[in-house]
Amino acid sequence: MRNKELYSVDEIKNMSYTDFVGFVNQWNVPPGAFVTLNKWRVFGNITKESKLLEIACTTGFSSRELALNTGCSATGIDISKKSVEAAENNHKLYAPKANLKYLVADGHTYSNGEKYTHALVGAALRFFSNPQKALDHITNDLLEDNGLLLSCEFYVEKEIPKTLVEKAKKIFNMTVTQQGYKEVMKVYKGLTLLYEDRNTIEMETDEELEHYTASSIQKFDKENPGYPKEALKVMHDRLLEIKQMSNELRPYQRYNVLVHKKDSRIYPGRYTELF
Ligand SMILES: C[S@@+](CC[C@H](N)C(=O)[O-])C[C@H]1O[C@@H](n2cnc3c(N)ncnc32)[C@H](O)[C@@H]1O
């Protein structure tokens, strides 16, 4: 938070999408939320000995909740300062005993010389300017030999209408993935696939969207007392708009949950058939 000084309604309206998510401290999650974390925990064998790096951690959901559940240590990086501030705050508020560290850094280049047993990118790769470069860097410079990459990908099952793509671009400041399954999987070709499932997404009802949004803004109010009702309403409406937009895209989208291994005997080739 900015020296206890409150952001104005105009500043809140004009923040970039990623800064707004960090600012309101939305518990931004990978598709599937806790269900996906449990798949990564089980099929990625995350234990208290594991050393996890979450890349593009936003407000820290995956690293924080996995550290709480397993006792692993975790570092989270994100390019958005507001998101990293929120992740640090969430560490203090919701998991004070967990072994967590959050830093502002670019996933294309971040390195502090350490290697990790697990790298986690959520559904974030498509937000990078160069997903392949980021993935190669993670694999070559951040993962231990035999380390595991935990990720998710959204892909489209049928073409998203142009009007919807344009509408989403205004809200997310980026073009939503319009790639099909085979296309999004290309970046992983040097890695060994250990676990995958593919999922459809149930649309949320207006009541569900409203309950989530109202709860998130009530949480913000508790964490940041002093904001006037007008500002809280602007935050509520912007978060609801984001949720409604995501919901409108759901009929066109699928997502998978992935665990890949960097197997130094094989990388960057493939000796096993895909199926
Ligand atoms: C959709 S959100 C990530 C999703 C979420 N963390 C998850 O669990 O699926 C995209 C995030 O990527 C971050 N980001 C975009 N480019 C980045 C980069 N080059 N390095 C690090 N983070 C980046 C954004 O700031 C934003 O927080």
Q: How far is the CA of 271 from the centre of ligand 1 (A)?
A: 32
Would the CB of 28 count as within 6 Å of ligand 1? Answer: yes
Where residue 33 sits, what CATH number does that domain have? 3.40.50.150
79, 133, 171: residue to mutate for ligand 1 pocket, most atoms within 8 A of CB: 79
Would the CB of 78 count as within 6 Å of ligand 1? Answer: yes
Cis peptide bond prior to 268, omega within 30° of 0: yes
Report yes or no on 271 lying in a domain: no
Distance of alpha carbon 8 from alpha carbon 13, whole angstroms: 9
Report yes or no on 272 lying in a domain: no
* pLDDT, tens digit (0-9, with 9 covering 90-100), for 6-57: 999 999 999 999 889 989 999 989 999 999 999 999 999 999 999 999 999 9
Report yes or no on 4 lying in a domain: no
Would the CB of 75 count as within 6 Å of ligand 1? Answer: no
Q: Is 32 left (phi over 0), alpha (psi -120 to 50) or beta?
A: left
Q: What SS3 state is found at 225?
A: coil
The predicted model scores a pTM of 0.93
Q: How far is the CA of 5 from the centre of ligand 1 (A)?
A: 26
16, 18, 102: residue to mutate for ligand 1 pocket, most atoms within 8 A of CB: 18
Q: What was the pLDDT predicted at 5? A: 80
Question: Between β-strands 116-122 and 143-156, what pairing exists: parallel, antiparallel or unpaired?
Answer: parallel
Q: What was the pLDDT predicted at 4? A: 60
Signed CA dihedral, 84, 89, 92, 93: sign only = negative
3 pLDDT tier (thresholds 50, 70, 90): very low
Would the CB of 27 count as within 6 Å of ligand 1? Answer: no
Report yes or no on 275 lying in a domain: no
Number of folded domains in the chain?
1
Q: How far is the CA of 107 from the centre of ligand 1 (A)?
A: 9
Report yes or no on 266 lying in a domain: no
Residue with tokens 């035999």: 146
Q: What is the DSSP letter of 228?
A: -
For residue 88, the surrounding DSSP H or E stretch is helix 81-94
Report yes or no on 25 lying in a domain: yes
Report yes or no on 242 lying in a domain: yes
Summary mean pLDDT of the chain: 95
Q: Which domain holds residue 39?
A: 9-261
Report yes or no on 127 lying in a domain: yes
